[in-house]
Amino acid sequence: MPIFLVLTLLFVFIFGTIIGSFLNVCIYRIPAGQSIVRPASRCPQCGTAIRWYQNFPVLSWVALKGKCASCKAAIPWRYPMVEILTGLLFVGVLWKFGLHPATLVYWLLAAALIVITFIDLDHQIIPDVISLPGIVVGFLCSFLVPWLPWVDSLIGIVVGGGSLLLVALAYEFLTKKEGMGGGDIKLLAMLGAFLGWQAVFPIIFFSSLVGTAIGIPVMITRKADSKLALPFGPFLAVGALFYLFWGQAVIRWYWSISLPAGG
């Protein structure tokens, strides 16, 4: 690989970890209803403000051996993991879409999905403050993505929101229980806005596959508490990212095996 390319990818990875460090703040503060800009990061245990030189993504956590510098409270390894994950996704998006405005759009989408995933895992909610503006931002971003006509984005909002709403209503009608949360419906509307209506059913399909593969072992080990459903948001996020990177290739492959040659 040319050295220029290596340096660019490294720079974008570091940029991604810095954004990831901000995403950690969002994951922690949005469900608590706190501001994500003020005050500066502090230790959740002792409240000591984190000094600027202790605020390097990943490296600080390693240097501090995963402990707060003043009270030695453990800093969960999830913090550096979210930073590394963001860095890797940023590099992956750049690798796939190159120096193009769409790369910025998909960085934004990836960042939103990381925040949604970890908040949903922690609290079983998908905050409206992300998904609702996300629907509008996703639609506006379609003007930066040449292969996503704004009409496809608009229909994506309706199909994304509508399809899960129908599933949720049918489930409630049949079981008299509330299954899917309203948060999932708004999230899928947001994904339809960012990726177009064509993405909606592949995303549902991919996320159901992942959900089944992970959900069944989890339910078996948890046993009795079958009422407690797994949050579906993280699976939708994984499904959407899978679609973003490999969706077109999988769909092409599917048609190539299901249509006879020359047919």
| Contact between 213 and Zn ion per CB under 5 A | no
Q: Report the 10 Å Cβ neighbour count for 8.
A: 14
Classify 74 as helix, strand or coil: strand
Q: Which stretch binds Zn ion (CB under 5 A): 11-19, 65-73, 179-187, 234-242?
A: 65-73
Nearest residue (CB) to Zn ion, 64 versus 230? 64
Nearest CA-CA partner of 179 in 247, 140, 230, 219: 230
Q: Which stretch binds Zn ion (CB under 5 A): 44-52, 56-64, 139-147, 192-200?
A: 44-52
Q: Which of 12, 30, 43, 200 binds Zn ion (CB under 5 A)?
A: 43
Q: Which of 68, 110, 116, 135 binds Zn ion (CB under 5 A)?
A: 68
Q: Please report how close the Cβ of residue 32 comes to Zn ion at its closest, in angstroms.
A: 18
Question: What's the one-letter identity of residue 145?
Answer: V
Q: Please report how close the Cβ of residue 26 comes to Zn ion at its closest, in angstroms.
A: 20
Nearest residue (CB) to Zn ion, 41 versus 124? 41
Q: Please report how close the Cβ of residue 36 comes to Zn ion at its closest, in angstroms.
A: 20
Q: Which of 45, 62, 95, 122 binds Zn ion (CB under 5 A)?
A: 45
Q: Which of 46, 74, 169, 213 binds Zn ion (CB under 5 A)?
A: 46
Q: Which of 62, 71, 136, 166 binds Zn ion (CB under 5 A)?
A: 71
Nearest residue (CB) to Zn ion, 67 versus 222? 67
112 and 157 Cβ atoms separated by less than 8 Å: no
Cβ-based neighbours of 41, under 8 Å, separated by 6 or more = 25, 49, 50, 55
Nearest residue (CB) to Zn ion, 73 versus 169? 73
Q: Please report how close the Cβ of residue 73 comes to Zn ion at its closest, in angstroms.
A: 5
Q: Please report how close the Cβ of residue 41 comes to Zn ion at its closest, in angstroms.
A: 11
Nearest CA-CA partner of 160 in 129, 130, 184, 142: 184
d(CA 13, CA 94): 10
Q: Report the 10 Å Cβ neighbour count for 105.
A: 22
φ, ψ at 74 (rounded to 5°): -70, 135
Nearest CA-CA partner of 57 in 29, 25, 76, 79: 79
CA angle 174, 188, 217 (to 5 degrees): 65
CA dist 240 → 5, 99, 222, 228, 254 (Å)? 27, 21, 27, 24, 18
Q: Which stretch binds Zn ion (CB under 5 A): 25-33, 66-74, 137-145, 186-194?
A: 66-74
Binding residues (CB under 5 A) for Zn ion: these are 43, 45-46, 68, 70-71, 73
